[in-house]
């Protein structure tokens, strides 16, 4: 993006709910009060939360019964080998077919992509007042920002790292993302001194108003990475560039830094 525009990235509620948690093969419950919604969220969401926290009742019992049914069906699948659950429900519950490491939570501190000569520090970013994912200040345009309400790189689910494509003075940290190709390697150094190595699956471009949330944020079947910056044509104003460019990558290995 340029200094006069914004990198608009819609935040996923699912990522906010799993902040700082490793997603295991078993089903875990979370306390909604531990992950407050951003102030810009519509008031209807607050009323929904009040209804969910209003005590046991028929809806709560129905959800509990559904969870028991899902767990039972997973048990039957393991014994018989027959798939019973729809893929959208089972994402992140069944062990994926391909082997890969799963790492404990650890904040990213650095990012390196040899194919495009990128080596940059990574700092935390949260949610902007308008409900989008915050991005690094323009003064830190050569740094990347990890969305700190989602998984850390190497945990189950999509870790999200955002950055500027350019500024009024020249290229920024993610200027070269458009040149990445399937199979290129991305290395993320973590605060525990391990390095999570990801392999690029694809590089996609989406209109900023039509970012496919399920596609970008919804896959919890394995550890993955999303690198997001601006792309498309320059339209100026609050939008800046018309599109978001998204790099989809999957964890393939890990090593000690």
Top-ranked range on mean pLDDT: pick from 52-61, 124-133, 191-200: 191-200
Q: Contact 224/249 with Cβ under 8 angstroms? A: yes
Q: Quick one: DSSP state of residue 32?
A: G
Residue 214: which H helix or E strand, with range? helix 213-217
Other Cβ atoms closer than 10 A to 183: 9
Domain ranges of the chain: 13-22+99-256
In sequence order, what E strands does 27-135 have? 108-113, 118-125
Instruction: Kindly report, residue by residue over 122-176, the tens digit of the pLDDT.
Output: 999 999 988 889 989 999 999 999 999 999 999 999 999 999 999 999 999 999 9
Alpha carbons 126 and 100: distance in angstroms, whole number: 28
202: left (phi over 0), alpha (psi -120 to 50) or beta: beta
- pLDDT at 197 > cutoff 60: yes
- pLDDT at 14 > cutoff 60: no
Task: Give the tokens for residue 10.
Answer: 């819609």
Task: Give the tokens for residue 219.
Answer: 């896959």
Instruction: Kindly report, residue by residue over 203-231, the tens digit of the pLDDT.
Output: 999 998 888 988 999 889 899 999 999 99
- The larger pLDDT score, comparing residue 157 to residue 29, is at 157
Residues facing residue 206 across a β-bridge: 244
pLDDT of residue 79: 56
Handedness of CA 25, 211, 135, 250 (dihedral sign): positive
- The larger pLDDT score, comparing residue 42 to residue 231, is at 231
Alpha carbons 69 and 91: distance in angstroms, whole number: 16
- pLDDT at 59 > cutoff 60: no
Instruction: Kindly report, residue by residue over 60-101, the tens digit of the pLDDT.
Output: 455 556 556 655 655 665 556 555 555 444 444 445 445 789
Q: How confident is the model at residue 188 (pLDDT cuts 50, 70, 90)?
A: very high
Question: How high is the mean pLDDT of the chain?
Answer: 75
CATH number of this structure's domain 13-22+99-256: 2.40.260.10
Closest to 145 (Cα-Cα) out of 180, 120, 116, 169: 120
Q: Contact 15/157 with Cβ under 8 angstroms? A: yes
Alpha carbons 78 and 23: distance in angstroms, whole number: 19
Alpha carbons 21 and 35: distance in angstroms, whole number: 12
């Amino acid at each position: 993006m340029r200094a006069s525009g914004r990198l608009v990235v819609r935040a996923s509620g699912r990522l906010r709910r799993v902040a700082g948690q490793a997603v295991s093969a078993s089903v875990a419950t979370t306390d909604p009060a531990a992950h407050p919604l951003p102030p810009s969220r519509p008031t209807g969401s607050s009323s929904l939360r009040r209804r969910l926290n209003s005590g046991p009742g028929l809806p709560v019992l129905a959800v509990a019964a559904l969870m028991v049914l899902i767990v039972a069906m997973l048990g039957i699948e393991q014994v018989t080998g027959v798939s019973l659950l729809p893929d959208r429900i089972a994402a992140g519950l069944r062990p994926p077919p391909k082997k890969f490491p799963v790492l404990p939570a650890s904040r990213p501190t650095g990012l390196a992509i040899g194919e495009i000569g990128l080596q940059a520090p990574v700092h935390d970013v949260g949610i902007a007042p308008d409900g989008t994912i915050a991005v690094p200040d323009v003064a830190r345009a050569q740094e990347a920002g990890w969305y700190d309400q989602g998984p850390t790189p190497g945990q189950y689910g999509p870790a999200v790292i955002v950055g500027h494509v350019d500024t009024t003075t020249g290229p920024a940290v993610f200027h070269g993302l458009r040149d990445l190709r399937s199979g290129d390697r991305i290395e993320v150094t973590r605060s525990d001194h391990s390095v999570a190595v990801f392999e690029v699956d694809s590089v996609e471009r989406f209109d900023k108003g039509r970012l496919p949330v399920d596609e970008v944020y919804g896959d919890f079947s394995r550890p993955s990475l999303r690198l997001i910056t601006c792309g498309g044509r320059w339209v100026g104003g609050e939008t800046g560039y018309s599109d978001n460019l998204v790099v989809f990558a999957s964890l393939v290995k890990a090593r000690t830094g």
